[in-house]
Amino acid sequence: MSILVTGGTGYIGSHTCVELIEKGQKVVILDNLSNSKASVVDSIEKITGVRPVFYEADLLDRAAIAKVFDENDIDSVIHFAGLKAVGESVAKPLEYYRNNITGTLNLLFEMRERKCFKLIFSSSATVYGKPASVPIREDFPLSTTNPYGTTKLFIERILQDLCVSDERFSVVLLRYFNPIGAHSSGLIGDDPNGIPNNLMPYITRVAKGVLPHLNIFGNDYETPDGTGVRDYIHVLDLASGHYAALKALSAPGVHIYNLGTGKGYSVLELVNAFERVTGVRIPYIIAPRRPGDIAECYADATKAYEELGWKATHTLDEMCESAWNFELAHK
């Protein structure tokens, strides 16, 4: 039996594929390569010694999904695939709703038809909107401040309704915070096409001289230094969280977990940590706030520890060091 990983050549997906393969799981990847590269499959093979089955396909193409199920014995699905930039989603809401929600519906129809009832969904802390307090627990009220977050919240609701209607389904919703860092090999990391939307690859490209300076979006938030505070989590910790979540799929219904460190760092604190670890200065300018961003967001991940035995173990310095090593080893 195999695990289908949609978006498996992307940043979090590729690290999760490595984790799964190293734990003895068979992996099949479906990815349209809109924000990743086919060479990631080669990198996964170099790290693990196993080449995952790979399909370049889009979830908007139902026939392509059917082909993957026809040719593989799929037991469960980890669903990463989707557009994921907050600012871009504000400018292109229709594209985000079509891609993320319609693609997920196509996947779910195919899963139901093939009697594949186990799904881990890559959700996001954006479903908490502007939280009334931090740290954020899974039972906090849900709302969103941007179309990207709304697609995640809509899909969560679709999955909850599905589980009510069909008790054969077992779904895990993993709400994660801000993944950074890279695999210790330097072979895979956060390597988006074009100008990065995520903070860390932006920092590493500035450090390398590819980009002239970092834009820090807003320094007038109600935080200690005015810049946004986020829960930065090493992508390897996030990957291990997906493996840990497999055990929750043994019970039907919906299971919800935050994956974070429980500690918030500001943008400037992250920049300072990167400079300290690497010895490279990061020039930056303060830009206007991005639409849809919030001041402060970090997790209470107690539930994941109590029920899955999972907790984040990597430090902020390790996140910075591994991200820089990936940038230096790359290109």
148 is known as an active-site residue: yes
Domain that holds residue 172: 2-181+232-260
In a domain, 317, yes or no: no
Going residue by residue through the chain, which has 331 residues, state the pLDDT in tens, using 9 for 90 and above.
999 999 999 999 999 999 999 999 999 999 999 999 999 999 999 999 999 999 999 999 999 999 999 999 999 999 999 999 988 999 999 999 999 999 999 999 999 999 999 999 999 999 999 998 999 999 999 999 999 999 999 999 999 999 999 999 999 999 999 999 999 999 999 998 888 888 999 999 999 999 999 999 999 999 999 999 999 999 999 999 999 999 899 999 999 999 999 999 999 999 999 999 999 999 999 999 988 889 999 999 999 999 999 999 999 999 999 999 999 998 6
Burial class (CB in 10 A: 0-12, 13-18, 19+), 315: middle
In a domain, 96, yes or no: yes
Per the structure block, which two tokens stand in for 193? 């096409």
Q: Which residues pair with 214 in a beta bridge?
A: 284
Q: How many domains does the chain have?
A: 1
In a domain, 151, yes or no: yes
CATH code, domain with 102: 3.40.50.720
Measured in residues, the chain has a length of: 331
Burial class (CB in 10 A: 0-12, 13-18, 19+), 308: buried
In a domain, 330, yes or no: no
In a domain, 101, yes or no: yes
In a domain, 24, yes or no: yes
In a domain, 68, yes or no: yes
In a domain, 50, yes or no: yes
Nearest to 239 by CA among 136, 120, 140: 120
| Candidates 55, 148, 176, 257; catalytic one | 148
